[in-house]
Amino acid sequence: MLLHRYRDLNGTFEVEFEDNMLKRLLEQCICCGKLETGGILVGYYDDMLQKAIIVQGSGAPRDSKHTRTRFYRGVDGLKDWLEEVWKVEKAYYLGEWHFHPFASSKMSSIDRVQMNKISADKTIHCPEPVLLIIGGDPSSIFSISLTIFNGEQPIELTDHTVELI
């Protein structure tokens, strides 16, 4: 099994996820074709609180809106899904993911504003949410960007390693 690891340039922040989780996100992107899609990321932090481990990404909630250039994530069914993931894996909300079909995985200004709002929202209890964006063609050539938001300047992570575990 492959393990993807992303880090900031200083090695302060790290995010990792297994290839199976990425494959499930790519399948959702393929199903949406030329429309944006997305969901939330769940997982946990290591004991040192330096690494986020993403274990799952939700599908788009039923009340989401998909267009070629925008994705409005709904909430229908997320509470039940989060409760189930917590019972089974002790995983909790870590951030958001979405797909830029046949375009760059670079975050937009809209993405930045939305993630800064999530970071600042005390009711969400996630001061450093992760944003994972998939861009390109999910069935062949795609790219991934990973960014952490901490209320200051977003911290972009780079693909550091892919390990066989």
Is residue 138 helix, strand or coil? coil
42 bridge partner residues: 56, 93
Strands 14-18 and 51-57 come out as: parallel
Ramachandran quadrant class, 12 (left: phi over 0; alpha: psi -120 to 50; beta: rest): alpha
> Is 14 an annotated catalytic residue?
no
Structure-block tokens of residue 113: 């504003």
Instruction: At 29, list the tokens.
Output: 């992107």
Catalytic option among 14, 16, 18, 36: 36
Phi/psi-derived region of residue 149, left when phi > 0, alpha when psi is between -120 and 50, beta in every other case: beta
Q: How many CB atoms lie within 10 A of CB 14?
A: 18
Tokens 């998939």 correspond to: 134
Active site residues: 36
